Amino acid sequence: MSNIYFTEEHNLFRESLRDFLQKEVVPHIEKWEETGHIERFIWKKFGDMGYFGLAYPEKYGGLDLDLFYTVILLEELQRINSGGFAAAIWAHAYLAMTHLNKEGDDAIKSKYLSNSISGDMIGCLCVTEPFGGSDVAGMRTTAVKDGDYYIINGSKTFITNGVYSDYMVVAAKTSPELGNKGISIFVVDSNTEGVSATKLDKLGWRASDTGEIAFDNVKVPASQLMGEEGKGFPYIMQHFALERLIMGINAHARAEYALEYTLQYMSERTTFGKSLDKYQALRHRFVDMHADMQLCKSYNYMVADQLEKGAYVVEEATISKLKSTKMADEVAYNCLQFLGGYGYMEEYPLARIFRDSRLGPIGGGTSEILKEILSKIIIDKKSYKPATQ
């Protein structure tokens, strides 16, 4: 684990986390993959260990540690080979909780953030809509002010933790006529009257619950507005950089695990009197993939380091997700091929890696959308600025 970004403390954290995951999570993975429901007890165990509080203030029960502890958490979650379990954890800890931490007032943080850190509450982030996809500005969900309340109507889709969460961080238009300048962010209790969630059936990420959420005249106290009214779009954009980097890190870690497993398999599997790792065609393809993985990994660490130092890394994080998820898909495809018929069998890990990896270039902004964003930055010289509060 020697690396310029990781200290001895980081490495000890990685070892203890790896032990925890093997002992507490791995024995349940097959069940959760089958049922699509991650049981509540594991959230509490994560909370008790402090894993949800790595990046958050001590005031609310967090540990206020540097971003490389988060990098380690993400990498180790990929190594237990359940993209769905990993997604449920990081969608709670970084998508929902990042908004609570950055835009929530003290009352919201005291209730929602502290209970999220302890593992007593599970959160989700509701931005994507059935008609909009990556077009955040085109959202149709509205929040109309009515006295001391907002009335929310609309729908969201592809929401990780959408079915079993306790609260939702919801983006809605408070001033539809203002386009992307009319979006606001709310925290909504999932059991509020008028909120309903339908579970979606997915190709991969089977352990996580992904929901389509409907809001039918949902009455939310005005105190549940987070940050300033109308500032939702820049808040969302600001946090997209972290989400994209997370998905980039997930991708390089998933690829690294796939390569490690495949190399072990190749060293043990023999045909015509020699092991697979002695065939030049396979050796050269393997080192090509290893090299691509290392390039992505080094780049992702560099971006994480910049983000940790306060840089605004929209372009870099977008490149991280675009390139790392493409690389991971190619690695999953080829590693499955290296296993031959066994690669296609569910009892071997490559089948699930192959399915789970496929979401990489889709979720959190498709590769096509990311290329358009990068075109605007690189070709049209458009600059994205952080939201000021």
- From 103, 243, 256, 316, the catalytic residue: 243
CA distance 104 to 100: 5
CA distance 114 to 258: 36
Residue 15 known to be catalytic: no
Q: Which of 310, 326, 169, 167 is nearest to 247 (CA)?
A: 326
CA distance 297 to 320: 9
Judge whether 313 and 248 are in contact, CB under 8 Å. Answer: no
Q: CA angle 83-86-88, nearest 5°?
A: 110
Judge whether 179 and 126 are in contact, CB under 8 Å. Answer: no
Distance (Å) of CA 26 to CA 31, 32, 54, 89, 305: 10, 10, 22, 14, 30
CA distance 313 to 121: 30
CB atoms within 10 A of CB 178: 12
177: left (phi over 0), alpha (psi -120 to 50) or beta: alpha
The whole-angstrom distance between residue 5's C-alpha and the CA centroid of its chain comes to 22
Catalytic residues, by residue number, are 243
